Structure 1
Amino acid sequence: MGVDVISEDSRWNAAGLEPLAERAAAATLAYLELDPELWDISLLGCDDARIASLNAEFRTKPVPTNVLSWPSGDRAAASPGAQPAAPRPGMDAELGDIAISYDTCAREAEEGQKPFGDHVTHLVVHAVLHLLGYDHKTGQDAALMEGIEVAILATLGISDPYHS
Structure 2
Amino acid sequence: MTAQLDLDVAIEAGNWSDAEQEAIMGAVKAALRAATQDGALWDEACDQSLLDQAGVIEVSVTLSDDARVRDLNRDYRGKDAPTNVLSFAALESDEGASDFAMASDMPLMLGDIVIARETCEREAIEQNKPLLHHLIHLSVHGTLHLVGYDHMVDDEAEHMEQLERHILAGMGIDDPYAPIEDQDVETGQ
TM-score normalised by the chain length of structure 2: 0.75
Q: In the alignment, does 2:7 pair up with 1:3?
A: yes
Aligned counterparts, 1:108-123, within 5 A:
108-123=123-138
Which residue of the other structure, out of 139, 160, 163, is the alignment partner of 2:175?
A: 160
Work out whether residues 58 and 107 of structure 2, in 8 Å CA contact, stay in contact via their aligned partners in 1.
no
Q: Please say which structure displays the higher CA radius of gyration.
A: 2
Counterparts of 1:113 and 1:37, CA distance in 2: 40
Q: In the alignment, does 2:90 pair up with 1:68?
A: no
Q: In the alignment, does 2:68 pair up with 1:50?
A: yes
**Corresponding residue SS for 2:7:** strand
Aligned counterparts, 1:5-154, within 5 A:
5-12=9-16, 14=17, 16-33=19-36, 34=51, 38-77=56-95, 90=104, 93-154=108-169
**What is the identity percentage for the equivalent residue pairs of Structure 1 and Structure 2?**
39
Q: RMSD value over aligned CA atoms?
A: 2.3
Work out whether residues 17 and 45 of structure 1, in 8 Å CA contact, stay in contact via their aligned partners in 2.
no
Kindly state the Cα deviation for residue 40 of structure 1 after the two structures are TM-superposed: 1.4
Question: What letter matches 2:159 in structure 1?
Answer: L
Structure 1 gaps of 5+ residues are: 79-83
With 132-141 and 26-35 compared, the bigger mean Cα shift is at 26-35
Match of 1:81 in 2: none
Counterparts of 2:138 and 2:13, CA distance in 1: 17
TM-score normalised by the chain length of structure 1: 0.86
**Corresponding residue SS for 2:22:** helix
Kindly state the Cα deviation for residue 9 of structure 1 after the two structures are TM-superposed: 1.9
